[in-house]
Amino acid sequence: MDKLVVLPALLAILPLFLILKLTFSWWVSPIQKHLKLRRCGFGGPPPSFPLGNIQEIKMKNSVNSSHGSSNLTHDIHSTVFPYFSRWQNSHGKVFIYWLGTEPFLYIADPEFLKKMSTEVMAKRWGKPRVFRHDRDPMFGNGLVMVEGNEWVRHRHVIAPAFSPLNLKAMASMMVESTNQMIDRWISQINMGNPEIDVEREVVATAGEIIARTSFGMKGQNAKEVSEKLRALQMTLFKTTRYVGVPFGKCFNVKKTLEAKKLGKEIDKLLLSVIKDRKKSSINRQSQEDLLGLLLRGNHQVDGKKFTTRELVDECKTFFFAGHETTALAISWTLFLLATHEDWQIQLRDEIREVVGDKQLDINGLAGLRKMKWVMNEVLRLYPTAPNVQRQAREDIRVDNLTVPNGTNMWIDVVAMHHDPTLWGKDVNEFRPERFMDDVNGGCNHKMGYLPFGFGGRMCVGKNLSFMEYRVVLTLLLSRFSFKLSPGYNHSPSIMLSLRPSYGLPLIVQPL
């Protein structure tokens, strides 16, 4: 009899409880955070909860693309981040904006970033939890997302994979994969079609390189993981989403389920690779790749081994991060060289002088000084990692401002790389010579140039990226000349990384 009375009462209370919970999460809590941040000294565009500033972010730019080489502009900040560009005009280079009910401290001021980062050790930076949840199908708890002592443990295990000895062993695989791509291009050109989407081709080849060098994968497995990761990236980042809005994934259930399904399919493929590696008898050299180091017992830290879940997440993280950024850097380089033939000729002359007709010697690639200037300038104009995210794990004091514990941060790399107050009037011109005598390219603040992030959490695979860039570009420039296709539509966009929206068709001719 008591149950018959209690059950209706619970059913009557439940809707009230849900309404109260929704009211608190959608309005009460974010308004309290908003008032606290204003008391701490931060302004910004006024939010409208529960969406925050998402509606403004969704507003499209009136002009976002251009055709042909005559009217191309490298002034891309207002195109890729139109909302940040608008807000900077009103609120300066440090302000608060809102993704749903999540506040983000926007930073495009290198001096503020320097003062803030000197207060915090690398392992005490967090990653925004809202992104960890949103990007879980792609990264899980890999190095990009882990924090604190777990980040130290993962970094300690992974770093030896990029030692000079291991990098040298990877070089021959890079050469082999690139030569296979070159053979495909020659066949296509001989069939009368010299227009090649170099971004698609280079991304695919870079995926094959990272699969072979880091995980010992070949053939169909590598291609399938690469294709599914790209599909997952498009699913997560090409559509308008409601990141930061409580229950936001319910607004687009189809895309949420699609991302989850792709994530599980990638996990399954990588798990089979891990299981095969565990079963096989591996020689010492193959043990020194990334997967080998992850599996080896003598790289335990604090007595903890990597779980199967952690192994899969690290493979997934490095498969994506290890090929995407380098491939896009090479792609944007070919685009810029196609529109600046003088630099294409200079690099080709330097390759002949340093490398000659000999077999590619990895040690000799360090002598390609002009190529290094070009790479630095490409990463300035078209940074493949266009932003850096952090989360405060303690209150951080900067002058008369306090960044409260738990505050998300968005460091706008594109804005700083295109800031005329940092780089001068020629900020939007392609001038690799600015890096001739200055590793910072003449930027008047050391924190104004962040192609690989900053501080202790700087990209662990930076040296691998440098080597792959030089190997691939040396082989391509030795065999081909590049011109921009009349059909190229210049529309850089952010899909986690900075990439051309409509591919990168170039006219490729054998030398």
Binding residue numbers for heme: 459
Dist. CA 189–CA 196, nearest whole Å: 9
Beta strands in 325-443 (DSSP E): 387-391, 396-398, 401-403, 408-412
Tracing tokens 């190095």 back to the chain, one arrives at 143
In contact, 324 and 203? CB cutoff 8 Å: yes
Burial of 210 (0-12, 13-18, 19+ CB in 10 A): buried
DSSP conformation letters of 114-173: HHHHTTS-GGG-B--HHHHHHTHHHHTTSTTT--HHHHHHHHHHHGGGGSHHHHHHHHHH
Dist. CA 480–CA 475, nearest whole Å: 9
Dist. CA 381–CA 412, nearest whole Å: 13
Tracing tokens 């079609």 back to the chain, one arrives at 193
Greatest alpha-carbon span in the chain: 94
DSSP conformation letters of 421-462: HHH-TTTTS--GGGGSS-TTTT-SSGGG--BTB-GGGS-TTH
156 phi/psi in degrees, rounded to 5: -60, -40
Dist. CA 316–CA 139, nearest whole Å: 6
Residue 310, number of CB atoms within 10 A of its CB: 20
Dist. CA 324–CA 402, nearest whole Å: 36
Annotated binding site: 459
Burial of 240 (0-12, 13-18, 19+ CB in 10 A): exposed
Query: Which tokens hold the place of 234?
Result: 């498009």
Angle at 205 between CA 203 and CA 208, to 5 degrees: 110
In contact, 237 and 495? CB cutoff 8 Å: yes
Closest CA to 247 of 28, 50, 48: 50
